[in-house]
Structure 1
Amino acid sequence: MGASCASFYANVVLHKWEHTFVLIPPWKQYILFYRRYLDDICILWGGSQDELRQFFCYINSTTNFLQFTHTVDPHELHYLDITLYKDYTQNVFHLHFESAHPLYQKRGIIKGQLIRASRICSTQEEFELEVETLQALFLERGYPLELFRTLAGEVSSLRNSLYPPILGKGSEALINSASNTLVHHTNSFAYTYSSNSKEMEEIIMHHWPVLALFEELKDFIPPKPSFVRKRGANFKEIFERKHDSKKKVKQPRLGTHRCGSCAQCHAISNESSLYIPSRNFRVHPTGFYTCATKGVVYLGLCTTCQSFYVGKTERELRKRIYEHLYDMAKKKETNAFFKHSLSCPGLNIKFTVLEQVELDARGGDWESTLGYRELLWQLRLDAGRSPGLNGTISIKPVLKLRRARL
């Protein structure tokens, strides 16, 4: 199949061939399972070996351009890159009945094996033989005969509803006599199993009829309570358990931090708080900010002489930082940091966010609100007085915000 269209033609041809010559009577009744990948076919045969040999001769005679080779094995089958095995439910290593495990686990082992047998065995006769084998196995492990027969009868009665065979439809007699079994699912009380479980369940069973006295609960509670027991901690888990069982809640990061993907990251303070010695004031941010945060009141602090500048920006913080650095490089005299660099040769500015002003859900004048918050921070830090670099502080934002609200 060297050409790109070869697999498509192979599927078309074999699809036509299998529906014309294979999946038809009388051969269809013997095919329990049929799968094909291109020209590789996997079949589980339900007829005799003589009928299987006749089937091989028949399919090789259906065309003059297809020649089939086959491999037959009652226990395993190699198909493509996998190997299929016949699964046996017999296991001599089942838990012994005398072991110190709760009874529901032992019942679960028996029922699980019976369900597997019901799903694997295609006919009722095969299922009954498998049940006899399992009965001998569990009796050898000390399980009571009455317990096994009770569970076997339960699984057998649900063989045509909850636990049908995976392959085939079972015996016709069983199908015709099948009854519509209704399964009612109820809520169960789930708890961790312990040595007091039996006593606790008896107490609940004893007082359960009290709930039936309430008319509003009659339609919601079953006649008997149902219990689901969870496995408790074993010795390994007990000894490996840490002394401090309280889970530590991870606190969110606060402060201004570098985004790690822009050229202005080097100018970010990258700290959770910032101390201004000249004002004896420590800034405690209430959120997590980066170079990309928008709508902020920011502080530019000179780490050499502790001079500072308070500003605002509606855009991303890194764009405003870039403008400051560009003005300093161009020696723009209107820039506060450039003017300060004339008297501070070792100028080193670090920026941090003082506050983020988010846009009101109802709208409003965001620019005026941002300017008002900037003014409050300038007054709080006395940014117009040395070593503040803001110079004259204007009250225009207050008037503008008041006018916008009017």
Structure 2
Amino acid sequence: MFDNELYVQTSGVAMGAAFAPSIANLYMTNFEKELIKHSAFADKILCWYRFIDDIFMLWGGTLIELNSFHTWLGTCDQYIQFTMQSSMDNIQFLDVDISLDVHNNFSTKVFIKLTDRNTFLKFDSSHSRKLKESLPFSQMVRIRRNCSSLTDYSAQSKDLSSKLELRGYPRRTLNRAQKRVKYLNCDHLLHQLKGIPPGDHEEDQETFETFVTRYCSKSKVAVDIIKRNWEIVNLHPCFENSKLRIAFSRNQNLKEILSPSFISCKLPKYPSKDIVLGHYKCGSCNICSITKECKEFFNPQDQKKYVLRHFTNCKSTFVVYLIICPCDKFYVGMTSRDLRTRMREHKSNLKLGRCSEVIVEH
């Protein structure tokens, strides 16, 4: 949907759609069954693992045969193109760096891109303290899961601690998380939720009701009130013997507030009487004579009427403006300076006949 109109996408899937990964998986699964398994190269593929559109493969043929296989893949489907990286002893797949030693044993560690930046959540950000204190632990668990040796874990967890310390995390919290994760069973981390064997989940024996709310500086007050009165909630048959669990969802950040991806075209139901909407002349410049005072304008191209949702005049800055020619063609421009300065430039260009300008050329 765009501008309250529905459009049909005739090819591909919209980027960012929730169902896009599922469609990609279904498409690639069929691709593998129909083409890969019945290809002339099938006996050379020792293993084939795929995560959506990333593939890890062990090849049992020569390098020339591998390049031929890659070329063949590019001819199978016009909508799918493959890029390839190959090595005899080291390869990266997703966030894992996989190496093969002289004894033909695999070793793994976390793969960190050269373009990686320290963008971890700042410790002084407006998030619950439990979330911020659990972040080092969860990141250490990820490193421990991906590192096959304690030596690699120690080096990479130390590097992570340095990055988190730059983001304001207390050294004590980082040391505690690093030591706590170091002795976790790596096999459990790979195959079980948080390394806890089946049957040890406390939540399996108890019923929890989760209270979800957006986090803010006053959230603790609301949570304390609910905790104090939870016994009253337990009186209801639906919540009998259930325990309370608190979960905070993320609140709006500055980017979402200042530059939302979707801007509502609706005006307030009851706009303030003090707010004057529309464009008006400032009354003190020579641009006033060529501007039009209006609260709405008509677009001759799409035959629609648009309401001005802000107050502007000749002195306004950061303005998108519309210049209409008598032939009904129009020019849309924008400026971060005041509107009258930009309009004076247009007048000067017309007067001097600067044909490099679009308006003058027209």
Superposition TM-score tier, normalisation by shorter sequence: 0.3 to 0.5
TM-score, structure 2 as length reference = 0.37
Query: Which has the greater radius of gyration?
Result: 1
Question: Which of structures 1 and 2 has the larger relative contact order (alpha carbons within 8 angstroms, sep 6+)?
Answer: 1
TM-score, structure 1 as length reference = 0.34
